[in-house]
Amino acid sequence: MSEITIKDIAKQCGVGVSTVSRALNNHPDINPETRRKILEVIEETGFIPNNSARNLKRTDAKCIAVLVKGITNPFFSNMIRIIEEETQRNRYALVLRHVEAHEDEVDVALELEKEKRLRGIVFLGGRFVHSEEKLAKLNVPFIFSTIGVDITDRVGRVEFSNIAVDDRLESRKMTEYLLSLGHRNIAIIVERPEQPIGRLRVDGYKEAYAQRGLSVPEDMICYVQDDIDYYSMENGYLTARKLMESPAGGRVTAIYATSDSLAIGACRAVLEAGKKIPQDISVAGYDGIEMGEYYNPKLTTIKQPVEEMAKETIGLLLDVIAEKEGHQQIVFPASLVVRESTGKCREVRSPLGSG
């Protein structure tokens, strides 16, 4: 039996090919009854759109997909812009897909592969913990970028690249800085430890305390809400407000939020509680987004080298596609940027940790 084409669908429905294309792409300028009829015929015939029906020519597509988990996080904006510029410069098309918090990004990638003839995939954000069996189903080169990866972790026989900072090390660096200012009751706002980035950043936080022989204030490990975007300002605000209303809120002298967006949201909760930043409570973030430099007070942060990471991500993927390079595991250094939102602890409102 010959392959069913979009022309066959159009002929059977008595419409033009462009009308079928509009129905597939859910365009508003099509009669609802016509769309229903077309979709019914598609279901009956088992027709599978080639290249998502957006490119109807059977040409050799040069297409790269970027799957973003946490697209509302401003940290990704510059990365996406640079990746888009580089793909266009190399005459590749870019497919940008937002992955919802509850979705598995590899499942989304596998579905996207069915729709488009991809040459490569970039995963921005999300989870690193995927089964080797599932990753092996991806038929094109892929790179994990800015995803929490313990560099001791490895996926057996599946070849892939990973580009990130050392989240455990950088989180320890921020906590050590706050401890050096005399803070002992440092709250951390972070995603749950089931998420690799959350686990690594909490590990770094705890290591900094352990190195000084101090007890970790376990009641100040504050996990963000699961029902809204992990790294949104709203989540930072709600999580910090809950902290400030808890018994621990009366002891906290510093808040370390594991993204700048969370930190900016936390600042609002601190100010609403009648506290001053940094006189009463220091607030620090992670990522180094531009907004943090213009917030009042300017935000102390761990700055990730966004531009370098983005260029390395797309450059390496294109080289792997062209078989110029093999897959690599690349760890970039981040930097501690001290600004106005942190200062020395003026008073200790509870006994120091043991040590």
What is each CA distance from 90 to 143, 212, 311, in whole angstroms? Answer: 18, 50, 13
Whole-number pLDDT of residue 63 = 92
Residues 219, 210, 334: CA angle, nearest 5 degrees = 95
Check: CB of residue 88 under 8 Å from CB of residue 109: no
pLDDT beneath 50, residues of the chain:
1, 51-60, 151-152, 155, 348-355
Q: DSSP class of residue 125?
A: S
Whole-number pLDDT of residue 61 = 61
Q: What tokens were used for 352? A: 């120091």
Q: What tokens were used for 198? A: 């959350």
Whole-number pLDDT of residue 157 = 58
Cβ-in-10-Å burial (0-12, 13-18, 19+) of 36 comes to exposed
pTM of the model: 0.78
Cβ-in-10-Å burial (0-12, 13-18, 19+) of 297 comes to middle
Q: DSSP class of residue 163?
A: E
Question: 270: which residues sit within 8 A by CB, 6+ positions away?
Answer: 240, 244, 255, 277, 280, 281, 283
State the CB neighbour count (10 A cutoff) for residue 132.
10
Residues paired with 255 in a beta bridge: 187, 283
Q: What tokens were used for 10? A: 């159009």
What is each CA distance from 161 to 151, 193, 195, in whole angstroms? Answer: 12, 23, 19
Whole-number pLDDT of residue 126 = 72
Question: 294: which residues sit within 8 A by CB, 6+ positions away?
Answer: none
Check: CB of residue 248 under 8 Å from CB of residue 277: no
**Residue whose C-alpha is closest to residue 69's, from 152, 137, 158, 144:** 144
**Residue whose C-alpha is closest to residue 117's, from 145, 93, 87:** 93
